[in-house]
Structure 1
Amino acid sequence: MAEAFKSGFVALVGRPNVGKSTLLNHIIGQKIAIMSNKPQTTRNRIQGVYTTDNVQIVFIDTPGIHKPKHKLGEYMTNVAMATLNEVDLVLFMVDAKEGLGRGDQFIMEHLKACKSPVFLIVNKIDLVHPDELLPLIDQYRQSYPFQEVIPVSALQGNNVHTMMEQIIAYLKPGPKYYPDDQITDHPEQFIIAEIIREKILHLTEEEVPHSIAVAIENIAKRPEGHIIDIHAAIIVERPSQKGIIIGKGGRMLKEIGSRARREIEALLGSKVFLDLWVKVEKNWRDRANMLHYFGYSEDR
């Protein structure tokens, strides 16, 4: 008798910058979540779909859970917490190098209300000595009764296969939610905006990254069909940030555009003309209408 097809929803939760997006991209096999060494990179729930002949797992990469400083921060934390009650399994990801901190304690307190099984995923094991792992795992186990504990390196792929086997073992028979070739539920427009935002995160100084948003104003294929025109606005909170994004003689904006365009062309499989401009919207992260415009609203 053929094995029943399994499916389910799996949430990735953890403090900012523990490697959730890196792990998701590794599992799916291509980039759907942006990566940066700056915390709080992910703002929306990003769904990645992993499908084989026997299983479909819908991964939800939540924003890093942290103590909010503004309305955008509140939205991000609320989204992550709400996800815990909507999934079949939770992967609580921690940074082996950072160790158990107050942020992890904060999340584990919230996990106590979670009805789904919770795995502890200890990431970045390539950065610590193996002898340090067991004492660290014991510390976490004292705070929460995890169903499974799996050490991995999301960047190098170490032990990710074992993690996937354990996840599948916990899933129940279920339907196929997405077609075989679909790897995310986000439209191309969302991914393009995220690619542009990632390049800004990589290239700019600390004061800029979390004050930016990217709005895709228009995407259109030219009549001859060989080039796609994309017009996008980069939103900042202060004129000084606008200056940083544009750079001396427009060099920074040009570099952002050049890096983003190469990746967007690979995504779309077409030549792209990318037109970027920078707009100042004072305190947009605390303005409900602006948050809604950029898609950071909980009724979404």
Structure 2
Amino acid sequence: VFLDTPGIHRARHNLGDRLVRTARAAMAEVDLIIFVADATSSGRPEDETVASYIAEVDTPAWLLVNKIDAVRPEQLAEAEARSRRLAQFDRVRLVSAVTGQNCDGLVQEIASVMPDGPMYYPPDVTVDRPEEFLAAELVREKLLLLTREEVPHSVAVVIDKMQRREDRDIVDIDAVVLVERESHKGIVIGAGGRVLKQAGVMARSEIERLLGSQVNLQLWVKVRRRWRDDESMLDRLGFRG
């Protein structure tokens, strides 16, 4: 079972606090930590913070230096040396997720050091989150993709209704897109509603594949200032921590 933990960063709101706590708790609960470093980076304070957390637990840790396809050999050597100094890693591998370089056999290598245990999920299960969560994430993903750098990641999607019709194979979904500023609302909606409509079309297609049914997706955008500091909203969105 792979746990894709939230990124560790300097939290500026309650949401950030929860995400960091979740990531730190996972470090002590798993059988292996995979620390992914960026070969193109000259070093980030966050990396040193993560390394200090790794040092606090007894969990074995491996280092993957990613993006080796994007740097020259001398830069790669510097990145590897810099990353190795962060913590005591049991194994080091230089990889490129884009080209697949040195990725062959990685999963098998990880499996070889895992302890025997029960099968927690059936073989065909790839994610353990409910359908409402996945639908919300698909909508959010499309909005961020379409708005790119215009809207920060202070966007959340709440599923108000997700109900299958009794007489037809159609699932009705009502979703609310939360933003923190009026200016963000205009960007998310777009001129003439273009951005919101396109995001809905893109998300609906993937949600239909997820559910195996036709989907009627309705989207609304609301401004909710400082929702990332609202404990009740964070609970509703499923951010544990």
Measured against aligned partners, the alpha-carbon deviations of 1:3-39 in whole angstroms (never above 9, x if no partner) come to: xxxxxxxxxxxxxxxxxxxxxxxxxxxxxxxxxxxxx
Answer yes or no: is 1:151 the counterpart of 2:94.
yes
Distance 1:133 1:154 in 2: 15
Kindly indicate which of the two structures has a greater share of residues assigned to helix: 2
Identity of aligned residues (%): 45
Answer yes or no: is 1:188 the counterpart of 2:131.
yes
Answer yes or no: is 1:108 the counterpart of 2:57.
no
| 8 Å contact kept, 1:214–1:234 | yes
Amino acid across the alignment from 1:145 = Q
Distance 2:154 2:193 in 1: 19
1:226 Cα deviation from its structure 2 partner: 2.8
Distance 2:225 2:235 in 1: 15
Distance 2:79 2:148 in 1: 33
| Among 257, 262, 273, the residue aligned to 2:200 | 257
Answer yes or no: is 1:133 the counterpart of 2:64.
no
| Among 10, 14, 18, the residue aligned to 1:67 | 10
1:134 Cα deviation from its structure 2 partner: 3.0
Unaligned runs of 5+ in 1: 1-57
Aligned to 2:189: 246
Distance 2:31 2:181 in 1: 42
Unaligned runs of 5+ in 2: none
1:100 Cα deviation from its structure 2 partner: 2.7
Amino acid across the alignment from 1:77 = V
Aligned to 1:288: 231
| 8 Å contact kept, 1:229–1:274 | yes
| 8 Å contact kept, 1:200–1:209 | no
Aligned to 1:276: 219
1:225 to 1:160, Cα distance in 2 relative to 1, 3 A: farther
Amino acid across the alignment from 1:81 = R
Aligned to 1:168: 111
The number of residues matched between the two structures is 241
Moved over 6 A (4+): none
Amino acid across the alignment from 2:76 = L
TM-score, structure 1 length as denominator?
0.76
Aligned to 1:124: 67
Question: What RMSD in Å do the two structures reach over aligned CA positions?
Answer: 1.7
Distance 1:111 1:267 in 2: 36
Secondary structure (helix, strand or coil) at the match of 2:125 reads coil
1:131 Cα deviation from its structure 2 partner: 4.2
1:105 Cα deviation from its structure 2 partner: 1.3
| Among 177, 193, 197, the residue aligned to 2:140 | 197
